[in-house]
Amino acid sequence: MSTLRVLHCDPARPAQAASSLEADLADCVWVRLLASGALPETSWLHSDDREWPTGPGLVLSTGGSSGGRQLCLHPVSNLERSAQACGAWLERIGLKPASTLAWNPLPFQHVSGLMPWWRARQWGADHAWLAPSLLKQPELLLSHSLRHPGWKRRPMLLSLVPTQLRRLLADPSGRAWLAEMAVIWVGGAALPADLAEQSRDLGLRLAPCYGATETAAMVTAQTPLDFLAGLGGCGCPLHGVRLRLTQQGALAVHCDRLAVARLADSGDLAALTDAQGWWHSGDLAELQGSATHPQLHLRGRIDGAIQSGGVTVFPAQLEERLLTAARREGLQLDAVLLLGSVNREWGERLVALVRWSSSEVPAEGFERLRRLVSDWSAPERPLHWYPCPELECSSAGKWERARWQHWLSSQPPAQQS
């Protein structure tokens, strides 16, 4: 029987957290990764009489994009198989994993920040931590990177979420830094069309990918050559991965590195997969191409959909559509989040939370947004618009919709624009 230890990960000292994790796993225990200062879960998770599967392994929190979080159990073997599959993908595109340098700006307590370090450790590659604040200061980021002994001497790999990519593309130093990368995996959320277009224009070697905490990181990835050739989506499955769609259009994944269990609210261990070993993601998707080489295209979250006037509306699709249209019209829009609000006549109606690029919002800004959606169907058009300067994704690049629903409920009608 294994036990559980809690490891708090200080974002200012990721190397220290990584060293502590190695020591804990050597003791053949389960380790719960938490952000520095975060409160542990309820007592049942940490009780001494809980029986854990044979260790070592990690207990990781999902991104919470559907409004709630789950805890997934991954034995170390899952992380090893995930790194092997990623290494095989690199070899297919002509890179030797051991010869690379992996830059890592993502939080270590999430699978997105854990796996770049784990892969480099397993491959024998070089690995460099990046403080999240550096990505907000591209000039400092570039000068910091130039001092690394592996800069441009090794093929450089990078994992980003779309929010980080957008910040870097907005700055000349950020664009120069990105141009030196051999592979830029972009995950955590679908890649917005305007970012894809700008990245292609700059010749950046993006590799849009799909993965989740439940799958021990990426299970599909598009090659940089296919991306630059104009191919959309998140690429084909990695080695050992099978994909299919449910009757509702949700993506299901089958592979040998799915979490062995999840922790239910009751404190019991529950199965992650169905009886045939498939994990049902809740991501609306399409599979294009052949049955042997399917190309994954994400279309939003099924569990984030709302019913408005008898029509099923997927906010994530509309957010990308609105952002793309706004930027083509020259509107300085940084982020938009569409949420469902209870409506007596329609059941629910969309409302929009908006963060502008500048603190000085042009007087006609919201009116121009309304005109942009004037030809959308009524269920798709936001009923109200809220300026929200603090609007942001989580550190893992996810929209925490429950958080912003709470923010919305606290706003007086006078705050609507």
Are residue 123 and residue 241 in the same domain, yes or no?
yes
Are residue 286 and residue 406 in the same domain, yes or no?
no
pLDDT at 69 over 80: no
Cα–Cα nearest to 126, from 81, 182, 191: 182
List C-alpha distances in Å: 147 to 104, 127, 138: 16, 14, 15
Strands (DSSP E) found in 53-133: 57-61, 71-75, 101-104, 126-129
Are residue 281 and residue 407 in the same domain, yes or no?
no
Q: What is the pTM of this model?
A: 0.81
- Given this model, what pLDDT does residue 15 score? 94
Are residue 114 and residue 204 in the same domain, yes or no?
yes
Among residues 301, 331, 363, which one ends one of the domains? 301
Are residue 322 and residue 367 in the same domain, yes or no?
yes
User: Tell me, what CATH number does 13's domain have?
Assistant: 3.40.50.12780
Are residue 346 and residue 283 in the same domain, yes or no?
no
- Given this model, what pLDDT does residue 66 score? 43
Are residue 161 and residue 252 in the same domain, yes or no?
yes
- Rounded Cα distance between 339 and 351, Å, is 5
Burial of 303 (0-12, 13-18, 19+ CB in 10 A): middle
Q: Which two tokens stand for residue 150?
A: 């592996």
Among residues 282, 301, 320, which one ends one of the domains? 301
Number of neighbouring beta carbons within 10 Å of residue 344: 5
- Rounded Cα distance between 190 and 82, Å, is 21
Judged by average pLDDT, the poorest of 20-29, 80-89, 199-208, 354-363 is 354-363
For 396, the domain range is 305-415
How many separate domains does the chain show? 2
- Give the position of tokens 């200062």: 37
The one-letter code for the residue type at 223 is T
pLDDT at 246 over 90: yes
pLDDT at 288 over 50: yes
Taking each helix axis from N to C terminus, what angle separates 138-146 and 172-179, rounded to the nearest 10 degrees? Answer: 40
The one-letter code for the residue type at 200 is R
What average pLDDT is seen over the chain?
A: 89
Q: How confident is the model at residue 221 (pLDDT cuts 50, 70, 90)?
A: very high
- Given this model, what pLDDT does residue 65 score? 45
pLDDT at 266 over 50: yes
pLDDT at 121 over 80: yes
Q: What is the mean pLDDT of residues 308-312?
A: 75
- Rounded Cα distance between 62 and 398, Å, is 10
Are residue 399 and residue 375 in the same domain, yes or no?
yes
- Given this model, what pLDDT does residue 4 score? 87
Are residue 154 and residue 22 in the same domain, yes or no?
yes
* Continuous segment of H or E residues that includes residue 289: strand 279-289
- Rounded Cα distance between 130 and 139, Å, is 14
Q: What is the mean pLDDT of residues 376-393?
A: 90
Are residue 182 and residue 296 in the same domain, yes or no?
yes
Are residue 248 and residue 347 in the same domain, yes or no?
no
User: Tell me, what CATH number does 361's domain have?
Assistant: 3.30.300.30
Are residue 315 and residue 220 in the same domain, yes or no?
no
